[in-house]
């Protein structure tokens, strides 16, 4: 009996309308053939699932990377905001300190100028001394501000020449002896009998030592001891300024060379100044190719500053 095969059961290459003479249409054979086709469909589904899984993992990895980048950007932004707020706070404090440092000597100058025509002739020299002292104080404040401005704008220039180290020492001591005498402080100088010369800016080298000695006197109680030690090696000269003053805390040591930074216990002991002296020392030392280091045993244990300047630096 002729049987018409289902189109799915037609052998490859044979039109499905072809009549085949077979004993019967085998349902078992059809089911077997259908079963043999199922794995093929399952293979395609598994392949698509694997591809989808890979795409999902890739997308997830990209999302994680983008999320990490966003997190880092947020943290950087927050850090930048904190730094900007800190700088704004310091700038505000700096302006207040500058105004204070200039106003006080200016008021003294105005008062003294008013008294000059009214006092007896023998009192005029004393008033002149007050005027000179207050004018010098204002000059130092302005000079420090100008130095910091030059440093920040890269306009600091050294006038290099052959410098006699003994002359630098003597010039730096001249500017500090008066303040130390007023506080009855003793100064010990220890240096070779002939320290020799070096290449540098004499004015700036003197400024480095004057700032360190002035700082030591400023934060050392009356009757205290200050020392300046000069050590010469074939390659460098080391200037060490030490004192037995109020000392520096470990936390303050981390910021001691930052401009406009003054520790609270230092302000309470002596609030005069802008907190620029040590910042200027560091910049001038580095401009000479050298360095400066600070150390202290803590509060009440004094401080020690070591400036090392190469005798000859090729960069100079």
Same domain as 139, residue 221: no
Indicate whether 26 pLDDT > 70. Answer: no
Closest by CA position to 241, among listed 312, 167, 315, 191: 191
266 in any annotated domain: yes
Q: What is the DSSP string of 11-51?
A: PTTS-TT--EE-S---HHHHHHHHHHHHHHHHHHHHHHHHH
What local confidence, expressed as pLDDT, does residue 255 receive? 87
Name the average pLDDT for the chain.
80
Taking residues 199-224, what's their average pLDDT?
A: 91
Determine the pLDDT at residue 315: 43
Give residue-wise pLDDT tens across range 125-164: 888 888 887 787 777 778 777 777 777 777 778 888 999 9
Question: Are residue 8 and residue 112 in the same domain, yes or no?
Answer: no
* Mean pLDDT, range 226-246, rounded to an integer: 94
Reported confidence tier of residue 314, pLDDT bands at 50, 70, 90: very low
Whether the pLDDT of residue 225 is over 90: the answer is yes
Q: Which domain, by its residues, includes 118?
A: 86-152
Inside any domain, residue 207: yes
Give the total number of structural domains in the chain: 3
Residues 131 and 165 in one domain: no
Residue from 140, 190, 192, 196 nearest 167 by CA: 196
Question: Would 72 be classed as within a structural domain?
Answer: no
* 232 three-class SS: strand
Examine the domain organization and report whether 205 and 285 are in the same domain: yes
Select the more confidently predicted residue: 225 or 89: 225
CATH number at residue 178: 3.30.565.10
pLDDT band at 313 (very low <50, low <70, confident <90, very high): very low
CA-derived radius of gyration, the chain: 42
Q: Are residues 304 and 254 in the same domain?
A: yes
- Kindly state whether residues 134 and 172 are assigned to the same domain: no
Residue ending a domain, choose from 128, 152, 176: 152
- For residue 223, tell me if it sits in a domain: yes
Band of the pLDDT at 36, cuts 50, 70, 90? low
């Amino acid at each position: 009996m002729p049987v018409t095969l289902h189109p799915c059961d037609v052998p490859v290459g044979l039109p499905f309308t072809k009549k085949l003479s077979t004993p019967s249409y085998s349902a078992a054979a059809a089911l077997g053939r259908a079963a043999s086709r199922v794995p093929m469909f399952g293979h395609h589904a598994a392949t698509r699932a694997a591809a989808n899984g890979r795409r999902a993992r890739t997308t997830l990895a990209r999302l994680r990377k983008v999320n990490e980048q966003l997190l880092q950007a947020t943290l950087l932004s927050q850090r930048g905001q904190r730094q900007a707020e800190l700088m704004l706070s310091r700038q505000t404090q700096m302006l207040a300190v500058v105004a204070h440092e200039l106003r006080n000597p200016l008021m003294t100058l105005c008062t003294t100028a008013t008294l000059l025509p009214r006092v007896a002739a023998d009192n005029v020299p004393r008033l002149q001394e007050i005027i000179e002292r207050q004018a010098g104080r204002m000059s130092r404040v302005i000079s420090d501000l100008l130095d910091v401005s030059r440093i920040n704008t890269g306009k600091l220039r050294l006038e290099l020449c052959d410098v006699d180290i003994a002359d630098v020492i003597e010039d730096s001591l001249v500017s500090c002896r008066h303040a130390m005498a007023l506080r009855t402080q003793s100064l010990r100088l220890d240096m070779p009998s002939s320290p020799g010369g070096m290449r540098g800016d004499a004015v700036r080298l003197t400024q480095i030592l004057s700032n360190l000695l002035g700082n030591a006197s400023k934060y050392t109680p009356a009757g205290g001891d200050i020392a300046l030690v000069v050590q010469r090696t074939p390659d460098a000269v080391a200037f060490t300024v030490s004192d037995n003053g109020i000392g520096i805390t470990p936390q303050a040591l981390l910021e001691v060379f930052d401009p406009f930074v003054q520790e609270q216990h230092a302000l309470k002991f002596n609030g005069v100044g802008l907190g620029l002296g040590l910042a200027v020392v560091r910049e001038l030392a580095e401009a000479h190719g050298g360095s400066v280091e600070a150390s202290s045993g803590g509060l009440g244990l004094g401080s020690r500053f070591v400036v090392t300047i190469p005798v000859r630096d090729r960069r100079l």
